Amino acid sequence: MKEITDFNRFLRLYRYIPLAIMGVSLIIASVTSVMASNFYKKSISTKEKVILELKEDGQVILPREEVQKVNRQLIILREWRKLNPKDSKSLDDFELGWKMRGK
């Protein structure tokens, strides 16, 4: 009989512990979700600001493959100009005319 009364006393003392743990868990989950939402909103606004600043400066964001392709073509063109200076004269004249027309 003493064991039953001891067990009842144990249950009365510790019956609110699971509720307290659940309450703390809900509070932590709520705070975490609010912080994650704020972080997401700030990251989106920061990304939009960066893109807007780039547009204002007249810059664009290009895929890396495109930039590498253009760099390869420029390297090939420079090598061709070194190896064929007479043939590249017409290209230089065309480039100069293009720049003059653009101004």
- Residues 21-64: pLDDT tens digits? 999 999 999 999 999 999 999 999 999 999 999 999 999 889 99
Q: Token pair for residue 56?
A: 């204002």
Co-location of 72 and 54 in the same domain: no
pLDDT at 103 over 70: no
Residues 8 and 48 grouped into a single domain = yes
What is the per-residue pLDDT across 53-69, written as a single tens digit (0 to 9) for each?
999 999 988 999 999 99
Domain residues for 70?
A: 62-103
For residues 80 and 53, state if they share a domain.
no
Average model confidence (pLDDT) for the chain?
Answer: 89
Same domain? 43 vs 21: yes
Q: Are residues 18 and 47 in the same domain?
A: yes
Same domain for 98 and 86: yes
What local confidence, expressed as pLDDT, does residue 97 receive? 82
Comparing 103 with 70, which gets the higher pLDDT? Answer: 70
One domain for residues 53 and 4: yes
In this structure, are 55 and 76 located in the same domain? no
Count structural domains, the chain: 2
1 and 36 in a single domain? The answer is: yes
DSSP, residue by residue, 50-76: HHHHHHHTT-----HHHHHHHHHHHHH
Residue 24 and residue 1 in one domain: yes
